[in-house]
Amino acid sequence: MALKSSNYRTTDNTPDQIPIYTFHGGIHPPQNKIPANVPSQHNLKLAEKLYLPLITTKGQKLTSKFSISMETPEQAQKIRIPVQKGQVIAEDPNGFVPPLHAPASGTIIGIENVSSSHPSGISVPMLVLKTSPEQQWVDLPSMKFEEALASPASDIIQKIFQAGIVGLGGAAFPTSIKLSTKKPIHQLILNGAECEPYISCDDRLMQDKAMEILQGACILAHAVSATEVVIAIEDNKPEAIQSLKKQRSEFNQTKVTIGIVTIPTKYPSGGEKQLIEILTGQQVPRGKLPADLGLIVQNIATTKAVYDAIIEGKPLIDRLVSLCGDKIPQSANYLVPFGTPVRHLLTEAQVNLQQIKQVIMGGPMMGHNLLSLKTPIMKSCNCLIVPSEKELPNPLNTLACIRCGLCSEACPVDLLPQQLYWHAKAEEWEKADKLNLFDCIECGACAYVCPSKIPLVDYYRFAKSKTIDQKADAIKGQKARIHHEKKQARLDQIENEKAQRRKDRAVAAKQRQPQSAQPEKQDNKDNSQTLLASNTTASDANPEVDPKKQAIADAIERVRQKKLAKAHLEQQIPEKTSETGETP
């Protein structure tokens, strides 16, 4: 977006005072945040069983560290594998997805198909960990903050990978992959906007763990050789801003400049590309990454997890989850071990399960309804909402699009949501793709302002899925065509080689054929003409003969010629005798 005077405010040149820009569209829904004075709950009772997925929400498969599979009930009773808290229990054989750690001490008792946190609710195989009353940590390496800043960046990134850290803002992208960019990075942005309504776990972290976040930020900056850190926080979190500034004043380090910047409250300012545009005025080009602009964006909770991994040696085994909604007796942020079933968390929060009609995983804008309360809390889950019917009504009947254009005005990516909707509804995937379907960040702003209550994001997600399948089929068909053409070329080459060998054999056989004997010159002209005529006739009648047959024919012809010559000689002798009167 071109810079306009109304889009930013100019302030003095301090780390906390920088020009603030804006982005296209955006909305201002009711916040419904958990009050800042409500402390987080760290004393959640451990669930009897934890369910740990072996397939991520993106479809990557993890391999269990133990030789177990989907067992029958009789065989499952024999599986008893003890594990310690923090122990690696599954990993990606391709080395892309960080390993999975045991969130608690206990015993692995098998693998079970359980409904996942994917919007489809698809069941995936999960390790079943039966927890024990006594918790014992596995031995974990740790280091001091100064040692971390003196360590090679590659070692820091490797430790982050081994700790199982992914982006905790919702995407769950491996943090180590993001940090391994070859592009020169000059600025690290910490995303503390937390713009979606209801969610407040990052706000709580910034209030309670400000020093850990600052140290984690310095470690991340060291990993990418950045000299500047900017922590962006919406202006509806004054307690978090004050806490970070207070701890920064007591933080003794000179390697990086840390700015704490307040940005206007607007949804979805917490989107990665939207936040970059707010802070820099630059838009990340289509097909490019923030690293191409010299920027890296990390979430607040991810930064705290990096501190835990490097300084404390603790892998990522739990996270703060905002539990809120009218059906929650006391909304709060709970520290939840991964694998904890949603049912257990709601029960511990004293929720009457008989009275709830809906449970939303994630925020009200980008979250989705859960299909099973057995679904476990995992790394990408930052919020659970248990609303009343009036609080967040779930419209079953939608109206027809009236082409009002409000969705286009609200879209933060400046797309054409109405046209995308029509193409998706008509299953015109290619047309939707040409309108930059995959630039949609699925923020839900268009659906929020839609007067017809059309679930636009659901259409876009479906269109994306179908487009991906269509492109995959096209690639598969192209590969099959190339394979067929190569196979046909090989067969043609084989046939050509065979034909050439047959031709070479024929030429060689012709060269080995014996030359036919020339007939003796005869004085008699008639005999010569007769012989020539017979040879010509035989040659014309059989232009191509077998070499053996030709040799036999030549031998017969020689005998015949000798007989003719002998007969001719006998005729000449009597004539001479009659002339001389002498007998021979």
* Structure tokens that stand for 404 in this block: 């009002």
**Domain CATH code at residue 422:** 1.10.1060
Regarding whether 280 and 237 lie in a shared domain, the answer is yes
Look at residue 526 in the predicted model and tell me its pLDDT.
Answer: 52
For residue 24, pLDDT beyond 80: yes
Domain annotation covers residue 563: no
Look at residue 563 in the predicted model and tell me its pLDDT.
Answer: 82
| Coil, helix or strand at residue 295 | strand
Look at residue 42 in the predicted model and tell me its pLDDT.
Answer: 84
Domain annotation covers residue 565: no
The total number of residues written for the chain in this structure: 584
Regarding whether 297 and 307 lie in a shared domain, the answer is yes
For residue 57, pLDDT beyond 90: no
Tell me the mean pLDDT in the region 240-260. Answer: 91
Look at residue 378 in the predicted model and tell me its pLDDT.
Answer: 95
Tell me the mean pLDDT in the region 255-283. Answer: 95
Regarding whether 180 and 257 lie in a shared domain, the answer is yes
Q: How far is the C-alpha of 186 from the C-alpha of 188, rounded, in Å?
A: 7
Regarding whether 340 and 308 lie in a shared domain, the answer is no
What residues does 267 pair with on adjacent strands?
27
The answer to whether residues 337 and 222 touch, using CB atoms and an 8 Å cutoff, is no
For residue 522, pLDDT beyond 70: no
The answer to whether residues 445 and 413 touch, using CB atoms and an 8 Å cutoff, is no
Regarding whether 83 and 13 lie in a shared domain, the answer is no
**Domain CATH code at residue 308:** 3.40.50.11540
Regarding whether 85 and 177 lie in a shared domain, the answer is no
Regarding whether 180 and 289 lie in a shared domain, the answer is yes
> What whole-number percentage of the chain has pLDDT above 90?
71
Regarding whether 327 and 308 lie in a shared domain, the answer is no
Q: For residue 380, which amino acid is it?
A: S
Tell me the mean pLDDT in the region 151-158. Answer: 96
- Last residue of a domain, which of 314, 330, 361? 314
Regarding whether 273 and 361 lie in a shared domain, the answer is no
> pTM here?
0.80
Strand order in the sheet with 228-234: 257-263, 228-234, 187-192, 295-299
Regarding whether 359 and 223 lie in a shared domain, the answer is no
Look at residue 560 in the predicted model and tell me its pLDDT.
Answer: 84
Domain annotation covers residue 215: yes
Among the listed ranges 222-231, 234-243, 247-256, 566-575, which one has the minimum average pLDDT value? 566-575
Tell me the mean pLDDT in the region 419-447. Answer: 95
> What whole-number percentage of the chain has pLDDT above 70?
88
Among the listed ranges 284-288, 442-446, 580-584, which one has the minimum average pLDDT value? 580-584
First to last CA, the chain: 131
For residue 68, pLDDT beyond 80: no
pLDDT tens per residue, range 372-386: 999 999 999 999 999
- Residue 233 vs residue 94, higher pLDDT: 233
Domain annotation covers residue 529: no
Name the domain count of the chain.
3
pLDDT tens per residue, range 170-208: 888 999 999 999 999 999 999 999 999 999 999 999 999
pLDDT tens per residue, range 326-350: 999 989 999 999 999 999 999 999 9
Domain annotation covers residue 42: no
pLDDT tens per residue, range 384-397: 999 998 898 877 78
> Domain range spanning residue 133?
49-139+319-385
* Per-residue confidence band for 238, with pLDDT thresholds at 50, 70 and 90: very high
Domain annotation covers residue 578: no
Regarding whether 17 and 148 lie in a shared domain, the answer is yes
